[in-house]
């Protein structure tokens, strides 16, 4: 069975969890994409740095996965970011979305 883990291409999740778009997964993906674009690197390069499949990175950037902390950390590190700082930005965006009418 393929897994979502490093070097994997499948989700490794049961049911439809992999396709569940949530505000935090969308915000995390947006933060990763913005960081990658700021650095001028491709999804392929980011995937290689994080030891993940490029298609997986694309789906994460689109917020299509609820990924593991390990993979979130690998992506953050591959972008030169610290995971907790990326998650803090995501949390702030989620709060802003709830507060704004």
Q: Is residue 91 part of a domain?
A: yes
Distance in angstroms (rounded) separating the CA atoms of residues 35 and 85? 12
The number of helix segments (H) and strand segments (E) in the chain equals 5, 0
Cα first-last separation, the chain: 44
Q: Is residue 89 part of a domain?
A: yes
CATH (domain of 39): 1.10.260.40
- Per cent of the chain over pLDDT 90 is 59
Q: 53: domain range? A: 18-99
Confirm whether pTM is higher than 0.85.
no
What is the model's pLDDT at position 22?
Answer: 82
Q: Is residue 41 part of a domain?
A: yes
Q: Which of these, 35, 40, 41, 33, lies nearest to 80 by C-alpha position?
A: 35
Distance in angstroms (rounded) separating the CA atoms of residues 75 and 26? 14
Q: Is residue 28 part of a domain?
A: yes
Q: Is residue 60 part of a domain?
A: yes
Number of domains the chain contains: 1
């Amino acid at each position: 069975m393929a897994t979502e883990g490093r070097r994997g291409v499948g989700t490794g999740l049961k049911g439809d969890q992999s396709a569940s778009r949530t505000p935090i997964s969308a915000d995390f993906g947006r933060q990763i994409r913005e960081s990658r674009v700021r650095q001028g690197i491709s999804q392929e390069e980011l995937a290689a740095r994080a030891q993940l499949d490029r298609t997986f990175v694309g789906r994460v950037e689109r917020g299509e996965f609820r990924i593991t902390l390990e993979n979130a950390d690998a992506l953050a590190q591959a972008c030169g970011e610290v995971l907790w700082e990326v998650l803090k930005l995501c949390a702030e965006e989620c709060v802003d979305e709830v507060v704004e009418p």
